Amino acid sequence: MKIIVCVKRVPKTAEADLFIEKEGKDIKKDNLVFALNDWDGYAIREAVRIREDYGGEVIALTVGPEDSKEVLTRCLAMGVDRALRIEEPPAIDALLIAKILARAIQDHSFDLILTGVQTEDDGWGQVGVALAQLLGIPHASIVNRIEIENGKGKVKRELEGGLEELLEVKLPALFTIQTGINEPKYVSLAAILEAEEKEMREIGLEELGLTSKEPLYAILERVSFPPAGKMAEILKGTPEEVVTQLSEIIKKKKG
Amino acid sequence: MTEIFALVEHRQGKIREITYEILGCGERLAKEKGGSLTAILLGFEVKELAEEMAMRTPRVLVVEDEKLKDFNSLYYQKVLSSLFSKYQPLLLLMGHTAYGMELAPSLSVELDLPLATDCIGLSFEGERMKVLRSIYGGKVMAHMTLKEAKGYMVTLRPGTFAPKPLEEKKGGIMIEPSPLQEVTDRKRFLQYIEAPVSGEDISQAEILVSVGQGIGGPEHLPMFEELAKILGGTISCSRPVVDRNWLPKERQVGISGKTVKPKIYIAVGISGAFQHVTAIKGAETIIAINKDPRAPIFSVADYGIVDDFQKVIPLLKEKIKGMMGGV
Ligand SMILES: Cc1cc2nc3c(=O)[nH]c(=O)nc-3n(C[C@H](O)[C@H](O)[C@H](O)COP(=O)(O)OP(=O)(O)OC[C@H]3O[C@@H](n4cnc5c(N)ncnc54)[C@H](O)[C@@H]3O)c2cc1C
Ligand SMILES: Nc1ncnc2c1ncn2[C@@H]1O[C@H](COP(=O)(O)O)[C@@H](O)[C@H]1O
The answer to whether the CB atoms of B110 and A157 lie below 8 A apart is no
User: Using an 8 Å Cβ cutoff, are A22 and A160 in contact?
Assistant: no
DSSP H helices, chain A, are: 38-54, 69-77, 94-105, 127-135, 189-195, 239-254
Type of residue at B257: G
| Number of neighbouring beta carbons within 10 Å of residue A183 | 11
Taking an 8 Å cut-off on Cβ atoms, the answer to whether A162 and B195 are in contact is yes
Scanning every residue of chain B, which has its alpha carbon at the shortest distance from the alpha carbon of A144? B243
Q: Are B99 and B9 in contact (CB under 8 A)?
A: yes
Give per-residue pLDDT as tens, B168-191: 888 899 999 999 999 999 999 999
pLDDT digits (tens, 9 = 90+) for B24-68: 999 999 999 999 999 999 999 999 999 999 999 999 999 999 999
Q: Which ligand is nearest to the CA of B271?
A: 1
Q: How far is B27 from chain A (nearest CA, A)?
A: 23
Burial A100-111 (b: 16+ CB within 10 A, else e): bbbbbbeeeebb
The residue whose CA is least distant from atom 21 of ligand 2 is A116
Average pLDDT over residues B274-284: 96
Which pLDDT value is given to residue B327?
43
- B24 within 8 A of B121, measured Cβ to Cβ: no
Residue B167 pLDDT more than 90?
A: no
Q: Which residues of A touch B293 (CB under 8 A)?
A: 234
The count of C-alpha atoms lying within 13 angstroms of the C-alpha of B283, restricted to the half-sphere facing its C-beta, is: 34
What mean pLDDT value characterizes chain A?
A: 96
Q: Under the phi-then-psi rule, with left for phi > 0, alpha for psi from -120 to 50, and beta for the rest, what region is B64?
A: beta
Does the structure show a pLDDT above 90 at B101?
A: yes
Q: Are A103 and A165 in contact (CB under 8 A)?
A: no
Among A133, A156, A254, beta carbon nearest to B263: A254
Q: Is A228 exposed, middle or buried (0-12, 13-18, 19+ CB in 10 A)?
A: exposed
B279 DSSP assignment: G
DSSP codes of every residue in A138-207: -EEEEEEEEEEETTEEEEEEE-STT-EEEEEEESSEEEEEPTTSS---PPPHHHHHHHTTSEEEEE-SGG
DSSP B98-122: TTHHHHHHHHHHHHT--EEEEEEEE
Closest to A134 in 3D by CA, of A95, A91, A168: A95
Question: What pLDDT is attached to residue B325?
Answer: 62
CA distances from A237 to A12, B150, B234 (A): 29, 56, 28
The total number of residues written for chain A in this structure: 255
The number of beta carbons lying within 10 Å of the beta carbon of residue B51 is 12
Backbone dihedral region of B67: left (phi > 0), alpha (psi from -120 to 50 degrees) or beta? alpha
Q: Mapping DSSP to helix (H, G, I), strand (E, B) and coil, where does residue A91 land?
A: coil
Q: Which residues in chain B are closer than 8 Å to A140, comparing Cβ atoms? A: 102, 187
Least confident of A71-75, A155-159, A189-193, B265-269: A189-193
Ligand 2 midpoint to CA A7 (Å): 6
> What is the predicted pLDDT for the residue at B326?
46
Residue B324 predicted with pLDDT over 80:
no
Count other C-beta atoms under 10 Å from residue B197's C-beta: 8
Report whether pLDDT(A179) > 50: yes
Q: What are phi and psi of A63, to 5 degrees?
A: -105, 115
Which of A126, A230, A251 to probe the B interface (max B CBs under 10 A)?
Answer: A126
Q: What percent of chain A has pLDDT over 90?
A: 95
Tell me: the pLDDT tens digits for B198-208?
A: 778 999 999 99
Nearest ligand atom owner, CA of A92: 2
Cβ-contact B309, B269 below 8 angstroms: yes
Task: Select from B96, B99, B260, B276 the residue to mutate for testing ligand 1; criterion: most ligand atoms less than 8 Å from CB.
Answer: B276
> Mean pLDDT, to the nearest integer, of A53-80?
97
The proportion of chain B whose per-residue pLDDT surpasses 90, expressed as a percent, equals 91
Name the minimum distance, in Å, from the CA of A227 to any CA of chain B: 9
CA of B12 to the centre of ligand 1 (A): 29
Query: In this complex, do B186 and A169 lie within 8 Å of one another by their Cβ atoms?
Result: yes
A residues 165-184 near B, CB within 8 Å? Answer: 165-170, 176, 179-180, 183-184
DSSP per residue, B219-263: GGHHHHHHHHHHHT-EEEE-HHHHHTTSS-GGGBBSTTSB----S
Q: What is the pLDDT of residues A216-239, one digit of tens each?
A: 999 999 999 998 777 899 999 999
pLDDT of residue B213: 97
Contact B208, B237 (CB under 8 A): no
DSSP annotation of A106: T
- Judge whether A14 is closer than 8 Å to chain B, CB to CB: yes
Alpha-carbon span A146 to A101, nearest angstrom: 23
Q: What is the mean pLDDT of residues A75-103?
A: 97
Written as one letter, the residue type at A179 is T
Provide, rounded to the nearest whole percent, the portion of chain B with pLDDT above 70.
Answer: 99
What's chain B's average pLDDT? 95
Q: Give the span between the Cα atoms of A245 and B269, in whole angstroms.
A: 20
Ligand 2 atom 4, closest CA: A62
Please say if the pLDDT value at position A168 is more than 50: yes
Side-chain-side CA neighbours of A25 within 13 Å: the count stands at 7
Is A208:A100 a contact under the CB 8 Å cutoff? yes
Ligand nearest to the CA of A104: 2
pLDDT band for position A255 (cuts 50, 70, 90): confident
Eight-state DSSP code of residue A20: B
Q: Is the CB of residue B326 less than 8 Å away from at least one CB of chain A?
A: no
B142:A138 CB<8 A: no
Asked whether A127 lines ligand 2 (CB < 6 A), one says yes
Question: In sequence order, which residues have a C-beta less than 8 Å from that of residue B132 and are 6 or more positions away?
Answer: B119, B120, B121, B122, B141, B142, B143, B144
- Check A13 against B139: CB less than 8 A apart: yes
Q: Which atom of ligand 2 is nearest to the CA of A61?
A: 4
Range B122-134 average pLDDT:
93
B3 sits in which H/E element: strand B3-7
Q: Which residues of B touch A17 (CB under 8 A)?
A: 294
Q: How close B169 gets to chain A, by Cα (Å)?
A: 32
Nearest CA to ligand 2 atom 14: A118
The CA distance from B223 to B220, in Å, is 6
